[in-house]
Amino acid sequence: MNAYKILLVDDERIIREAIARTVDWERLGLTLIGTAADGLQAWEQIEELRPDIVLTDIKMPRIDGLELIRRTKEHLPDTQFAVLSGYDEFDLAVRAMNHGVKHYLLKPCDEQEIERALSEIIRELDEARRRDKLLTAARQADEARLTEREPLLALLLEEPLALAPETAEHLQQAKQLDLKLRLIFVQWETATACQELRVREVAAAQSGADRPFGQSAVAGNRLLASVADGGLAPAVAAAQLLRDELLSRCPGLRLTVAVSDAGPPEALARLYKDAQAYAARVFYLGAGRIATSELAEPARAAVAAPEAARGELVAAALRVGDIEGARQELAAFFQALAAARCDRHTSLSLCLQLMTAMLKDTPPEELLSKTAQLLSLPTLGDIEHCIAGELEITAQRFEDSSTHKGTAVVMRMKRLIAYYLAHEELSLQWLGQHHLFMNAEYLGRLFRKETNEKFSLYLTRLRIERAKELIATETESKMYEIAERSGFGGDQQYFGNVFKKFTGLSPLEYRKSLAGKSR
């Protein structure tokens, strides 16, 4: 096969030149067509030279690696990337994986590591070339069949939302389609050339007169088959048989299956769009389910997705050994995510943030492997099971010391409160950000669990006690000075209101009562 073209991108000249000099490009079957010192320069060369592979740094001036990958994938989707990244840039590498990047090299790396990663990419490109060659032959052989028997579904797959009036008229005249029909929609993520050929064979074998499907067509990673409408149950049964046959012929193929509502031929575009929308729900329904309109939930108020910060609540609970709290937070996270019904990409992004927050102390190579596994899971239930498993593994490490750690954190909070009591900015947020490096919401719950008292109430009570001491011992001090030194800042009126709420007396009345007792 012809050599593949590769572009090398790194803003550090020494690294760029070292890689260019030491990697044996020719032995790998690669041609180094250029190097670039930043993302913008790399993008200009990609547009002009169209490399098969780009080996790129991720943190660069002008355009960073993420933006370079995004732009390239948008215009040249077949271009493969390998990412170079430092330990502190792992979050960026995870985001690169969302753009389809599968190869990640941790700096510093030697030429052997780089060559191993490039060899994997070359194998993938070789497989893609072989696959394209096989599929081209298959499509040519299939062309007559598609032209004679499946023109309408084939057209629909190419232009699913734009049926011209003459196309609708053509649909009405099609002898193969009944007056009303349903569409079975099947989609898969990746398939080998052999698997796609088998998918085509299955579709062809089950289509035609006296067979389950009137018409069928395969394009890319999608299969459509039409069935005469006899109700939803028979259509679902036909979809199950198709799914089972595909899985029997193509083991390991991960399928998403949906059945449309019934409609006349001229509504084919709408039925196809509806079936796609139903298929998107499989992420929430669970593996093996066939999505239909009956599985749609009734209209309801919009539910917000869980904030990314909720992952920090799980992580904070783990750090202090509060395993039960971590389990509760994890369950709440996935309940909120399931209720929100975000698109799959948003849900995956939130789950990735949760995973990386939980496993901050995990070595980057191991964490990368775990996140790659997470991205490959087909349903939200699978993802929850995976992350819950990681939580239990982590929990095992804290089994003997979780209670002591929770108590230790609260004891430290109390020491910090005592030391910074006069600081007006003292709060859970401030402690978490500047001293404990933990989520404020979690700290508040932990404090209440250990003390049976809210943090805010505890803090205010201590400040009032401090104010009472100062009033008793510093008889010449002004009340605004007492307020400041007790942590109430310069708001004397607020101080007075809080003081009276706790003691039943204003600060001045309290001072007078002390003076009366001393006589």
Q: Which segments of 150-267 does DSSP mark as H helices, in order?
A: 151-158, 165-173, 193-205, 232-249
| pLDDT of the residue at 8 | 94
CA-closest candidate to residue 447, choices 308, 357, 322, 309: 322
| pLDDT of the residue at 464 | 94
| pLDDT of the residue at 7 | 94
User: What averages of pLDDT result for each successive group of 10 residues across the chain (519 residues)?
Assistant: 84 86 90 91 92 89 86 87 71 67 74 86 82 60 46 50 45 54 83 74 75 74 83 87 86 84 80 83 73 61 59 70 78 84 78 80 74 78 88 71 61 83 90 79 87 93 92 88 90 91 92 76
| pLDDT of the residue at 163 | 42
| CA 112 to the chain's CA centroid | 32
| pLDDT of the residue at 86 | 67
Amino acid making up residue 276: Q
- CB-count exposure of residue 3 (10 Å: 0-12, 13-18, 19+): middle
**What is the value of pTM for the model shown?**
0.46
- CB-count exposure of residue 462 (10 Å: 0-12, 13-18, 19+): middle
Nearby residues of 182 by Cβ (< 8 Å), 6 or more positions away: 226, 227, 229, 232, 235, 259, 260, 261, 262, 263, 271
Q: Are strands 222-228 and 181-188 parallel, antiparallel or unpaired?
A: antiparallel
Report the distance separating Cα 184 and Cα 188, nearest Å.
Answer: 14
C-beta of residue 391 within 8 angstroms of C-beta of residue 327 = yes
Instruction: State both tokens at 323.
Output: 């395993």
* Three-class secondary structure of residue 399 per DSSP: coil
Report the distance separating Cα 179 and Cα 192, nearest Å.
Answer: 37
Report the distance separating Cα 227 and Cα 176, nearest Å.
Answer: 10
Report the distance separating Cα 6 and Cα 83, nearest Å.
Answer: 13
Amino acid making up residue 296: A
CA separation, residue 115 to residues 23, 35, 119, 415 (Å) = 7, 17, 6, 54
| pLDDT of the residue at 221 | 79
Longest dimension (CA), the chain: 113
Report the distance separating Cα 399 and Cα 411, nearest Å.
Answer: 20
CA-closest candidate to residue 496, choices 485, 480, 512: 480
C-beta of residue 264 within 8 angstroms of C-beta of residue 279 = no
Task: Determine phi and psi for 387, rounding to 5 degrees.
Answer: -70, -35
| pLDDT of the residue at 405 | 56
